[in-house]
Amino acid sequence: MTVITRFAPSPTGLLHLGNIRTALINWLYARTHNGKFILRIDDTDQERSKDEYISKIKYDLEWLGIDYDDTFNQSSRFERYREQFEKLKADGRIYPCYETPEELERKRKLQMASGGKQVYDRTSLSLTDEEKRGYEDDGRKPHWRFLLQTERLKWNDLLKGELDIDLTSLSDPVLFREDGVPLYTFSSAVDDIDYNITNVIRGDDHTSNTAVQIEIINAIDKNRITFAHHALLKASSGDKLSKRDNVISIDSFRKSNLEPLAILSLLATIGTSQSIELKDSLNQIISEFKLETISTSPGRIEIDVLNALNKKQVQKLNFDDVSERLKNIDEKIDEKFWNTIRSNLETVEGVKQWSDIVFDSKLIEAEDKEYIKSAMELIPDDPWDENTWELWTTAIKEKTGRKGKELFLPLREAFTGMSHGPEMKLLIQLIGREKILERVKT
């Protein structure tokens, strides 16, 4: 049997690290089992779903290298959901309910006050045809609930082990709204059947949904899906991640020029028993993936860790890997430049700061004027090479008697305007004699 997994985001916001982690796990599970990975867009709620987010979701996945074998939007399947709805209705598994939200809220408060279970009391289940007609004549339209029949639902969760959910503590779920729109619990179950999904891997906030969905699936067909629920990632503060939390969206990471491989390396290992480290490639991530190493306690996102992984990745990139990107930043950046600068960068795009320093003709006002003046009197002739810096600074040392930081730091500041950066012996070769003479104002 071919393994088929899916990632099913609702296009109501940007994908964040937690969402993408679920996508990655499903993708890795499919890829390591020679299976298929489907992208399903959960857009039945047309008011909240936005095309803009659908495009962003697809772009995020593509940018990260998470490819899918098939994709569809739930909004294209309303007819199919209606068909399955009619089937459940004919089987007596769904029933119309006429309570208004206010009435339901009142019931819930009463249950709370009397200390009882806060579950729907099934009043509408016993309505006579006449009573139903009465409601309809009053202009009320029904919403539809699924009649849960199992008391306890058990399954062997690939991550959490044996689970045993008490369905009597849950309300009969609403599957169709008054306006005929199916709700997630139902459309997801129908799609998982129709697309022959073999493995549903998702956050453990869905555990009780799973119990309900297994019962719905069994009412329509027969459940063949193996479920796995992973712990959700948390923010470093310990808070839940939210779609409104744009700082950790993939979109914002892309805008801050983080490398896809750094993000994927973090997501493949965070919240697992594997150590967090930079991977060489997506292939390495695939070959090291093991579902069972995913922990059932939540991993916390530390942005510093992500930045450190990114820095490592930038330093590993060869000129050929980035030459196209560098062209867009500054055409003058060549291989020698890149190799000199990359160890100082947090992001590839950070190279711009250094190309400005090396190629721009800005004047730098030296602080230590007298000292810089005497140093400039000793400036070696062209051509400059590997040894130029050593020769020059030895001569300065002899003349001024300075050494260490006192000798080097004012020179670095006068030539680059920065107090740190790549090795000066390399950097001055990039800047060149002419530009240094032009630049230094004493």
User: CA–CA separation, 359 vs 365, rounded Å?
Assistant: 17
The residue of the chain with the least Cβ separation from ligand GLU equals 42
Strands 94-97 and 143-146: antiparallel
Q: Which is nearer to ligand GLU, 6 or 145 (CB)?
A: 6
Give the SS3 label for residue 73: strand
Does 145 help bind ligand GLU (rule: CB under 6 A)? Answer: no
Amino acid at 16: H
In whole angstroms, the minimum distance from the beta carbon of 296 to ligand GLU comes to: 18
Q: Which is nearer to ligand GLU, 173 or 422 (CB)?
A: 173
What does the longest C-alpha to C-alpha distance in the chain come to?
108
Q: Which of 106, 134, 132 is nearest to 118 (CA)?
A: 106
In whole angstroms, the minimum distance from the beta carbon of 87 to ligand GLU comes to: 21
Q: Are 46 and 143 in contact (CB under 8 A)?
A: no
Residue 4's alpha-carbon distances to 108, 207, 209, 320, 373, in angstroms, are 40, 20, 20, 36, 71
Which tokens belong to 120? 């729907």
Does 299 help bind ligand GLU (rule: CB under 6 A)? Answer: no
- At which residue do the structure tokens 């697309």 appear? 195
In whole angstroms, the minimum distance from the beta carbon of 214 to ligand GLU comes to: 12
In whole angstroms, the minimum distance from the beta carbon of 213 to ligand GLU comes to: 8
In whole angstroms, the minimum distance from the beta carbon of 188 to ligand GLU comes to: 5
- Show the binding pattern over residues 335-374: x = contacts ligand GLU (CB under 6 A), - = does not: ----------------------------------------
Q: Which is nearer to ligand GLU, 184 or 338 (CB)?
A: 184
Strands 161-166 and 440-441: unpaired
Using CB under 6 A as the binding criterion, the count of chain residues that bind ligand GLU stands at 8
User: CA–CA separation, 172 vs 123, rounded Å?
Assistant: 11
Q: Which of 44, 54, 24 is nearest to 201 (CA)?
A: 24
In whole angstroms, the minimum distance from the beta carbon of 385 to ligand GLU comes to: 59
In whole angstroms, the minimum distance from the beta carbon of 8 to ligand GLU comes to: 4
Q: Are 36 and 69 in contact (CB under 8 A)?
A: yes
Dihedral sign computed on CA atoms, order 190, 196, 198, 200: negative
The packing angle between helices 404-416 and 424-431, to 10°, is 30
- At which residue do the structure tokens 């919240």 appear? 271
Q: Which is nearer to ligand GLU, 204 or 302 (CB)?
A: 204
Which region, left, alpha or beta, applies to residue 436 given φ > 0 means left and ψ of -120 to 50 means alpha?
A: alpha
**Residue 126 C-beta-side C-alpha neighbours within 13 Å:** 3
Q: Which is nearer to ligand GLU, 8 or 175 (CB)?
A: 8
Q: Are 328 and 309 in contact (CB under 8 A)?
A: no
In whole angstroms, the minimum distance from the beta carbon of 231 to ligand GLU comes to: 15
Q: Quick one: which of 16, 21, 27, 42 contacts ligand GLU (CB under 6 A)?
A: 42
User: CA–CA separation, 17 vs 196, rounded Å?
Assistant: 27
Query: Which one of the spans 8-16, 62-70, 232-240, 323-331 is the region binding ligand GLU (CB under 6 A)?
Result: 8-16
Would you give the end-to-end CA distance of the chain in angstroms?
77
Query: Which one of the spans 7-15, 228-236, 339-347, 400-408 is the region binding ligand GLU (CB under 6 A)?
Result: 7-15
Q: Which is nearer to ligand GLU, 8 or 219 (CB)?
A: 8
User: CA–CA separation, 279 vs 281, rounded Å?
Assistant: 6
Q: Which is nearer to ligand GLU, 219 or 341 (CB)?
A: 219
- Show the binding pattern over residues 166-205: x = contacts ligand GLU (CB under 6 A), - = does not: ------------------x---x-------------x---
- Residues 205-264 touching ligand GLU, rule: CB under 6 A, are 206
Q: Which is nearer to ligand GLU, 195 or 408 (CB)?
A: 195
In whole angstroms, the minimum distance from the beta carbon of 42 to ligand GLU comes to: 4
Q: Which is nearer to ligand GLU, 200 or 333 (CB)?
A: 200
Does 9 help bind ligand GLU (rule: CB under 6 A)? Answer: yes
Q: Which is nearer to ligand GLU, 44 or 265 (CB)?
A: 44
What is the contact surface with ligand GLU in residues (CB under 6 A)? Answer: 8-10, 42, 184, 188, 202, 206
